């Protein structure tokens, strides 16, 4: 089964300097039929102007994975981590028993909007000790960014068995076969692709698969796609 969700159907939150497009119910945007896909419970596409962002706020029992598409993001948290996260870097914050963090576009000299996708997955256990990881990735084809799957080497780990995030960065006419998994969530971050079983997907579109089998994804031009492999 394939469920295609178009960019225009996403909930949108706008606050000063920040525009967020949500793939699932989030905050005041609630749809009981759209609260997540398996253990993936948030998938937010953020555009943040210089000097704006999210101030210190709490989370618990979430694996928070952030992929920066352009610009830079200043991360700080109550565990003492402070980093500037740039394009092509993946960040993982395991909230565990509780952590507070901020994410802002206010690095020294930052003069352009920052675009990032932040995704939340549920961990296998609650109350874990909070932890943090950051890695730089140069994607070629289909590249694992974050993984809780034994034997699947990725840039960062997550505490969710059977789940992994991949990025596919493709040139015109290039293609990849997506993982064979019980569930997939495929999100077009940039460009346009032709996805087997779903058809043509444009930037901001997503497809949710709930059947075994690895579909083929082909770029119709330069494209970047985020793919969650889910239990």
pLDDT of residue 180: 94
- Per-domain residue ranges for the chain? 2-230
pLDDT of residue 26: 96
Mean pLDDT over 65-69 rounds to 98
pLDDT at 212 over 80: no
pLDDT of residue 102: 97
pLDDT of residue 176: 97
pLDDT of residue 108: 87
pLDDT of residue 60: 98
pLDDT of residue 80: 97
| Rounded (5°) CA angle 40-78-44 | 25
Question: Residue holding tokens 């939340």?
Answer: 120
Residues 194, 176: contact at Cβ < 8 Å? no
pLDDT of residue 190: 97
pLDDT at 72 over 90: yes
- pLDDT tens per residue, range 119-155: 999 999 999 999 999 999 999 889 999 999 999 999 9
Residues 98, 60: contact at Cβ < 8 Å? yes
**Paired tokens of 95:** 């909230």
Average pLDDT, the chain: 96
pLDDT of residue 213: 79
pLDDT of residue 230: 97
Q: What percent of the chain has pLDDT over 90?
A: 94
Among 12, 29, 17, 98, CA closest to 57: 98
pLDDT at 189 over 80: yes
pLDDT of residue 109: 81
pLDDT of residue 16: 97
3 state SS for the chain: CEEEECHHHCEEEEECCEEEEECCCECCECCCCCCCECCEEEEEEEEECCCCEEEEEEECCCEEEEEEEECEEEEEECCCCEEEEECCEEEEEECCCCEEEEEECCCCCCCCCEEEEEEEECCCCCCCCCEEEEEECCCCEEEEEEECCCCCCCCEECCCCCCEEEEEEECCCCEEECCCCCEEEEEEEECEEEECCCEEEECCCEEEECCCCCCEEEECCCEEEEEEEEC
Q: CATH fold of 2-230, please?
A: Jelly Rolls (2.60.120)
R_g over Cα of the chain: 17
- pLDDT tens per residue, range 73-105: 999 999 999 999 999 999 999 999 999 999 999
pLDDT of residue 143: 97
Question: Residue holding tokens 């239990």?
Answer: 231
Question: Residue holding tokens 């119910």?
Answer: 25
| Rounded (5°) CA angle 36-38-44 | 35
């Amino acid at each position: 089964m394939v469920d295609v969700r178009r960019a225009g159907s996403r909930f949108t939150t706008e606050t000063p300097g920040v525009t967020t497009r949500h793939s699932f119910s989030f905050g005041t945007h609630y749809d009981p039929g759209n609260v997540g896909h398996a253990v993936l419970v948030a998938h937010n596409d953020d555009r943040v102007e210089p000097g704006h962002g999210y101030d210190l706020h709490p989370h618990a029992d979430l694996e928070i994975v952030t992929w920066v598409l352009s610009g830079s993001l200043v991360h700080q948290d109550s565990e003492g981590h402070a980093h500037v996260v740039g394009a092509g870097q993946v960040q993982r914050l395991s909230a565990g028993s509780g952590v507070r963090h901020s994410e802002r576009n206010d690095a020294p000299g930052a003069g352009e909007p920052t675009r990032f996708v932040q995704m939340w997955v549920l961990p296998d256990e609650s109350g874990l000790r909070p932890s943090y990881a950051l890695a730089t990735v140069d994607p070629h084809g289909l590249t694992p960014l974050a993984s809780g799957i034994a034997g699947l080497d990725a840039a960062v780990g997550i505490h969710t068995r059977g789940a992994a995030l991949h990025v596919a960065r493709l040139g015109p006419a290039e293609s990849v076969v997506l993982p064979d998994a019980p569930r997939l969530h495929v999100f077009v971050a940039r460009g346009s692709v032709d996805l087997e079983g779903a058809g043509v997907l444009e930037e901001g579109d997503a497809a949710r698969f709930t059947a075994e089998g690895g579909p083929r994804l082909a770029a119709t031009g330069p494209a970047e796609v985020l793919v969650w492999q889910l239990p």
